[in-house]
């Protein structure tokens, strides 16, 4: 419902790939520990290895208050990691709708054809610059955001 109008239109969404943008492994030790915890299926500890970027966090709140958009967080680390990530982001009180998981970035790219309401896929990996076509938005630095 927007401005008192009832509608069956899907709300516009932005997909944020967690790894590298909202959550970053800042040291080699954190990378090794996260890999070990994922291997041991200790997903809560693996999520704790990631440092949440404060600028991206405040940017999400800013855009959420000014625009009628939904934010979905996407992880490529599996279902268990996604559940632990959802709990962590709930504790941080971030304005996201869902935490989704995909096996590979190719699975996400192929799935975009079935998601007409996704405006952009925001990511911080330069290897994926052309992966998502016109819906992809590569962020070189955490302070450079799409909107």
Residue 128 lies in a domain: yes
Cα–Cα distance between 42 and 116 in angstroms, integer?
35
The bridge status of strand 118-123 relative to strand 98-101 is: unpaired
Cα–Cα distance between 56 and 118 in angstroms, integer?
19
Which residues form the domain of 86? Answer: 12-24+52-138
State the total domains in the chain: 1
Smallest Cα–Cα separation from 15: which of 87, 80, 143, 107?
107
- Tens-place pLDDT, residues 60-91: 888 888 887 888 999 999 899 999 999 999 99
The bridge status of strand 51-52 relative to strand 98-101 is: unpaired
Residue 4 lies in a domain: no
Residue 117 lies in a domain: yes
3-state secondary structure 111-147: HHHHCCCEEEEEECCHHHCCCCHHHEEECCCCCCCCC
Say if pTM beats, i.e. exceeds, 0.85: no
Q: Is the pLDDT of residue 5 over 70?
A: no
């Amino acid at each position: 419902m927007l401005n008192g109008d009832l509608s069956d239109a899907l709300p516009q969404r932005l997909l944020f790939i967690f790894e590298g943008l909202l959550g970053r492994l800042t040291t080699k030790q954190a990378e090794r520990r996260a890999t070990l915890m994922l291997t041991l299926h200790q997903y809560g500890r693996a999520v704790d290895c990631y440092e949440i970027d404060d600028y991206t966090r405040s940017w999400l709140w800013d855009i959420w208050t000014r625009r009628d958009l939904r934010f979905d967080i996407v992880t490529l680390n599996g279902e268990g990691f996604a559940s632990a990530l959802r709990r962590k982001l709930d504790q941080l009180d971030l304005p996201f709708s869902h935490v989704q998981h995909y096996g590979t970035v190719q699975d996400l790219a192929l799935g975009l054809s079935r998601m007409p309401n996704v405006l952009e896929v925001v990511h911080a990996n330069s290897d994926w610059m052309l992966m998502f076509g016109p819906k992809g938005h590569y962020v070189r630095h955490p302070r450079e955001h799409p909107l």
